[in-house]
């Protein structure tokens, strides 16, 4: 078996009964979001395990080729071509292997899985979640957009379409313009998914109100 993508985890106090796989943004690592888990105030009895993978280090074209952790290269700021398709697909394969291993290891069914991510990680959450072979508990995409938007309608899994999606975005986002987030959300809906869209008075970050709502949403979907 190929080596799994490096990751860190935050485990519940008792048995593992559910799983959240959360991808970080460009230049960050799995350590970036791990400290936020206690702020969700999730009940111990839900037994939610969080896994935070680390993206590989790669040159990023729009950053003058400077190497940093990224799930894919960003080759332009155009909506249809913003993400490097081959990088997205390569990362998706590695992340899916990690997800499958986690579900098998802890004897969990897909309905106890949430795929989440921020920025580039949210792009991967959209990409992976919409292509799952079975419906999962939820997809959480934060301050993100769609990779390969023109291919989603054809590639989306019919089995995944009942999966609830929550997309959140700051209306002053200077990195991923909110118009790009809105257009992506609409594309996901047109592909047959049910999506809740929430906007916040913030930039490219996470705010306390959002953290509280994420905690409530996770408890509902994984309860």
| Structural domain spans, the chain | 7-222
Q: State the catalytic residues.
A: 119, 173, 204
- The number of residues making up the chain comes to 223
List, for residues 77-116, the tens digit of each pLDDT value.
765 666 788 999 999 999 999 999 999 999 999 999 999 9
The CATH code of domain 7-222 reads 3.40.50.1820
Distance CA(9)–CA(204), nearest Å, equals: 24
Farthest-apart Cα atoms in the chain, separation:
47
Q: Would you state the structure tokens that stand for residue 80, as one six-digit string? A: 């249809």
- The proportion of the chain whose per-residue pLDDT surpasses 90, expressed as a percent, equals 92
Entry pTM? 0.96
> pLDDT category, 179, cuts 50, 70, 90?
very high
């Amino acid at each position: 078996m190929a080596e799994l993508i490096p990751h860190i985890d935050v485990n519940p106090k008792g048995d593992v009964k559910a799983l959240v796989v959360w991808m970080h943004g460009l230049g960050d690592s799995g350590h970036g979001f791990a400290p936020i888990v206690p702020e969700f105030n999730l009940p111990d009895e839900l037994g939610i395990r969080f896994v935070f993978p680390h993206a590989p280090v790669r040159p990023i074209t729009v950053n003058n080729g400077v190497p940093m952790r990224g799930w894919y290269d960003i080759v332009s700021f155009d909506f249809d071509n913003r993400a490097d398709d081959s990088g997205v697909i390569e990362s998706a394969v590695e992340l899916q292997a990690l997800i499958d291993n986690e579900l098998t290891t802890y004897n969990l069914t897909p309905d106890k899985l949430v795929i989440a991510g921020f920025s580039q990680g949210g792009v991967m959450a959209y990409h992976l979640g919409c292509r799952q072979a079975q419906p999962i508990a939820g997809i959480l995409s934060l301050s993100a957009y769609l990779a390969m938007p023109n291919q989603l309608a054809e590639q989306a899994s019919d089995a995944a379409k009942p999966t609830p999606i929550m997309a959140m975005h700051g209306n002053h986002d200077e990195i991923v313009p909110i118009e790009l987030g809105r257009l992506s959300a609409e594309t996901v809906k047109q592909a047959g998914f049910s999506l809740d869209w929430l906007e916040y008075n913030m930039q490219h970050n996470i705010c306390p109100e959002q953290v509280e709502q994420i905690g409530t949403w996770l408890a509902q979907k994984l309860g």
